[in-house]
Structure 1
Amino acid sequence: MIVVYHKNNKVVHIECQGNNISFENTSISKILFQLAEKHQEKWIIWCHVNEKENLNFDRFDIIFYHQKIMTSYNVLQNTFLPEAIGYVEETPFIKINKEVKYPTWQMSSIAGGIHASVLFALKDEVFPDNNFDYFLNSFAKLAMPKGLFCYSDPELLKKNSQTEQKIKKNDYTLFRFVKQHYKSSWVFLLFLDLFLYEKKVLVLPMLFSLFFSKRELKNDSLVKIQAQSVKKVIHTKTIDVLIPTIGRKQFLYDTLKDLSKQTLIPENVIIVEQNPEIASVSELNYIQNEYWPFKIKHIFTHQPGACNARNLALAEVKSEWIFMADDDIRLDADFLERSFSFIEKQGAEQVTFGCYAPDYAEKSKIKEILQWSGFGSGCSIVKSVNVKSIIYNTGFEFGYGEDSDFGMQLRNSGFDILFSPVPEIIHLKAPMGGFRTKPVLAWHKDIIQPKPSPTIMLYKMLNLSKEQVNGYKTVLFFKYYKFQGIKNPINYYKNFRKQWGKSVFWANQLNKK
């Protein structure tokens, strides 16, 4: 392990196993690349000299458990990039929960680390900026979508620093970063949002950014680095399968048959069957009439709704792992076995797997293993202990957003979610069952219909920053214009404001519920 101590964007000294390493008088980022070239098998740690005695070396084996991890922690009150970056990016990686290990590309120069092999692999593709914080944020932003796992982790330091310094906001840096890491159109949307919501007219920073070109990485830059986790996440290798179902008797049967043919058989399959007709009884006669190599826990309820059904199923889990499945999927016989191989190799505790319709275009599928910004309630495996205190928010019932909200609850509890393209799940997207009825929601009779859907608004209000919500509002305003009937821009603006207000109102009502 090599530790680089720095101050004021200059290296102060470098240590390796108690010995000092000589270095050139150049930028910190250049020195990191030089170290990586000479010591490709080592971890490279950076630390501000003020936090030297605070580095938590005892936890490093747990923090850096495979080579494709980049982690830092910012003890200061704000991030290097201003909160206004939320106008540009709507992912969960913007609003960081600093109390737990949290996935984000927003890195800090205060303390952090990366494996030399990753730096070496990207030395010709990432520019070594003189500003170390800019370099770290740029590096992570570029590499995270290519398979580098990036985190904010408070365990890097033994205790919270007493530093009360604030990072000075720099509008020029913000616009430059947006120009170099997003589509050029976001520069102008950022300018507009800052004017609309903060009354700022930042013409010069916007024009300044246009002189910078976009940064990109090659798709295969990190592929050659094989991640092999040293963290043990599998103990009993037992798994329960959760399946909510309504009116899909044959499709569910086929899914159960696929589960029965697995090379690693589940311990329990928990089926929550819903039928809102009061006099109805279960139609799943094959549960009792056929032999199954696993136990089936069958719950029948007249209360429809996927959130309620999944909560009922979660309460019945007994195994170490949970496969959260849909009732209309098809699986290869080695799906669970291959899934556990992936989990063991990556040290993962939550994984959403590639799940596509049979006719989905191959070229459109995600090929990389990466940190996922969402969560799939019908195609994910999670560790049971991590969801003990998490439930599906029934405010999202019959709407959209419950999957994403469940994922955010996981992240805010300190548990990351990975995406794996294989093993793949086939999602048949079966038609609605015969007694599926479209619910009449409270706002359906309103003269002014909410826009966006109140459940979408609820997700954003609960999980995103105010800048992210406002940025979404601006984008929705422009995108929605061509799909609605009011073509007078002024009248459209007035109506949109009313629709947005209605959505906020109903989202608040759902939140109270």
Structure 2
Amino acid sequence: MIIIYHNNNKVVATESANLDVLAKANNSSIVSSLFEIAKANPDDLLVWCHMSLKNQLNSTEIEKIFHHRRILVSYNPSDIPFLDESIGYVEDSPFIKINKSVSFPTWQMSGMVGGVHSEVLLALKNGIKLEKDFDYFLCSLAKLGMPKGLLCYSEPKLLKNNAHGLTKKASIYVLFQFVKQHYKTRWTFLLFLNLIFYERKIKLLPMVFALFYRSRTVNNYIKFDSINVQSSINRNDKITLDVVIPTIGRKKYLYDILVDLKVQTYVPTNVIIIEQNPTVGSKSELDFLTNEIWPFAIKHRFTNQTGACNARNVALENITSDWVFFADDDIRIEPDLIQKTLDKINRYGTKAVTLKCYQNNDDASARDSNREVVFQWGSFGAGCSFVFSEILKNCKFGMGYEFGFGEDLDFGMQLRNQGCDILYFPEPKIIHLKAPVGGFRTKPTLRWQKETDQPKPSPTVMLYLLFNNSKQQQLGYKTTLFIKYYKLQKIKNPIRYFINFRKQWDRSIFWANELKKT
């Protein structure tokens, strides 16, 4: 490990670095210095720290944080981010609103303190420009690297005692530049419009200057495949696994997935089945649960209350194993899926993963050609995910989302806010049959169905936005929805449409707040 101390502009001192390399680095920017040191020390971990935080650097935690080589970590001890919060107008991912009290996935990096392995820098080759601005370079590296498999985090354990400090803040010109270089060009114009609409700011010059920068969104030079991933986190090989399956009216499909689980090379310990049937006085139709012999214990619960959120919450109360496989009742899996997934989980040292799940008639290779690497997932799949059960003790599926949309996304945010990242595994794959029977046998009656002004977006979507997104993200979503929805509705007069849309948005907020009470 090499520790590099700097003062925002130059490298000031290092620990464990070759003196000749340091002398050469001292005449260069921090970014250039990092690459020089990386070339001379290709097998080392590089840690940077601002001189003002030298005494706060938590050296004892660094090896635990970098448990494999494909990790980029930093921490901003200030409440002021490098890029303005207006970036939320552009991006609606969970990587914008950072929970700074836990390890949190994000591309928003800081030059104050952080680290990366030399191999990561050397893998870039000509894939990224060596910026003079250290913070801009780190944010750009993370933004481009995350979809390619670089795992990036805000990590408070880098510093002792919740240390605080000053940090740099980018100008509005730099913000527009970053948007132009890392998003589609239309987002540059949308940022400009959102600043006018919601902040009464006209930033014409920053927008115009940004248009002269070349996009960095398409970059085939950045590849991290050559960097071996083998986590140093020690896990017990003899783990136990519970499988959670909510089901309603899908007897044949449920039987098929149970058979798939029966022949697994790594047999689950328990299968928790929550059977729903809304007909009062009805009984279970799953006779095969007791008529056949299964190599795992079956915990069967029958309820007349329908709804996936309730069913999964009932299942969560019955979990006793180390890990949980959240499954749907209409999926099919290969005999070695559980074993392969657990092996891969150990390699990455992660606590939550979502597997690739596709329909049998999909051209999966074409549809997911850009998702063939392990990367940080912005969502969560309640029917195709593995989660470490210890994390689940403080989580549940929000009942406000019942019969709507957003419960998966919200559950994923609950995991992240406990310091649990969610990785996407392209292998092994799950086939989702999308069974034509089951589901909601009768269309649920929603409380807002008789509203004169139907809420837009759906109140459950709004509920997610209010719980998990920043103010700027909420307003940015409002703008894009306003633009996209125009061609789908009947009102073509722009003024009438604007007035009507505002009413629908307000009703959505009203009902979302009502759902909070559920």
- Comparing 219-228 with 286-295, which one deviates more in the overlay? 219-228
Q: How does 1:193-208 map to 2 (within 5 A)?
A: 193-208=194-209
Q: TM-score, normalised by structure 1?
A: 0.98
State which of 97, 113, 116 in structure 2 corresponds to 1:114.
116
Post-superposition Cα deviations, 1:160-184, rounded to whole Å, max 9, x if no partner, equal 2243x35445100000000000000
Structure 2 residue corresponding to 1:148, chosen from 147, 150, 153: 150
Q: Which piece of structure 1 moves more, 19-28 or 303-312?
A: 19-28
Any residues of structure 2 matched to 1:20-419 within 5 Å, and which?
A: 21-22=22-23, 23-163=25-165, 165=166, 167-215=168-216, 216-218=218-220, 221-361=223-363, 362-365=365-368, 366-419=371-424
The amino acid of 1:16's aligned partner reads S
How many angstroms does 1:2 deviate by?
1.1
Q: State the shift of 1:207 in Å.
A: 0.5
Aligned to 2:426: 421
Q: Does the C-alpha gap of structure 1 residues 205 and 472 become closer, same or farther in structure 2, counting only changes over 3 Å?
A: same
Structure 1 residues 272 and 86, CA, compared in 2 at 3 Å: closer, same or farther? same
Measure the CA separation in 2 of the matches of 1:86 and 1:249.
45
Deviates more, 1:401-410 or 1:16-25: 16-25
Number of paired residues?
A: 512
Q: Does 1:467 align with 2:465?
A: no
Gaps of 5+ in 2: none
CA contact (8 A) 1:458 1:511 kept: yes
1:198-229 Cα distance to aligned partner (Å, 9 max, x none): 10000000011011001143176111111111
Q: Hey, what's the Cα distance between the residues in 1 that align with 2:75 and 2:367?
A: 35
Which secondary structure state, in structure 2, belongs to the residue aligned with residue 407 of structure 1?
A: helix
Opposite residue 349 of structure 2, the aligned amino acid is G
Structure-2 change in CA distance of 1:229 and 1:205 (3 Å): same
SS in 2 for 1:487: coil
Q: Classify the secondary structure of the residue corresponding to 1:225.
A: coil
Aligned to 2:456: 451
Runs of 4+ in 1 over 4 A off after TM superposition: 17-20
How many angstroms does 1:270 deviate by?
A: 0.2
Helix, strand or coil at the partner of 1:426: strand
Q: TM-score, normalised by structure 2?
A: 0.97
The aligned residue for residue 16 of structure 2 is: 16
Contact 1:236/1:320, CA 8 A, preserved across alignment: no
Asked whether the 8 Å contact 1:144–1:150 carries over to 2, the reply is: yes
Q: 1:27 to 1:97 in 2, by over 3 A?
A: same
Q: Within 2, Cα distance between the matches of 1:18 and 1:272?
A: 62
Query: Structure 1 regions of 5+ residues with no counterpart?
Result: none
Task: Return the offset for 1:325.
Answer: 0.2
Alpha-carbon displacement from aligned partner over 1:60-94 (angstroms, at most 9, x marks no partner): 11100000000001101211000000000000000
Bigger mean CA deviation after superposition, 371-380 or 355-364: 355-364
Contact map agreement 2:126 2:221 (CA 8 A) in 1: no
C-alpha contact 1:2 1:43 (8 A) present in aligned 2: yes
One-letter code aligned to 2:69: Q
CA drift of 1:233 comes to 3.7
Q: Could you say if the C-alpha distance between residues 414 and 322 of structure 1 is closer, same or farther in structure 2, counting changes exceeding 3 Å?
A: same
CA deviation vs aligned residue, 1:428-478 (integer Å, no higher than 9, x gap):
010132871110010011111111000000001100000001000000001
Could you say if the C-alpha distance between residues 259 and 346 of structure 1 is closer, same or farther in structure 2, counting changes exceeding 3 Å? same
CA-based RMSD of the aligned residues comes to 1.4
SS of the residue corresponding to residue 13 of structure 1 reads strand
2:121 and 2:426 map into 1 onto residues whose CA distance is 25
**2:377 aligned partner, one-letter code:** W
Contact 2:98 2:106 in 1 (8 A): yes
Partner of 2:491: 486
Contact 1:193 1:471 in 2 (8 A): yes
Is the CA contact 1:233–1:348 (under 8 Å) kept in the aligned structure 2?
no
**CA distance in 2: counterparts of 1:196 and 1:477, whole angstroms:** 13
Contact 2:10–2:26 at 8 Å: present in 1 too? no
Contact 1:275 1:435 in 2 (8 A): no
- Is the 8 Å Cα contact of residues 143 and 217 (structure 1) preserved in structure 2? no
CA contact (8 A) 1:88 1:471 kept: yes
Give the Å deviation of 1:235.
Answer: 5.0
How many Å apart are 1:36 and its aligned residue? 1.2
Aligned residue for 2:2? Answer: 2
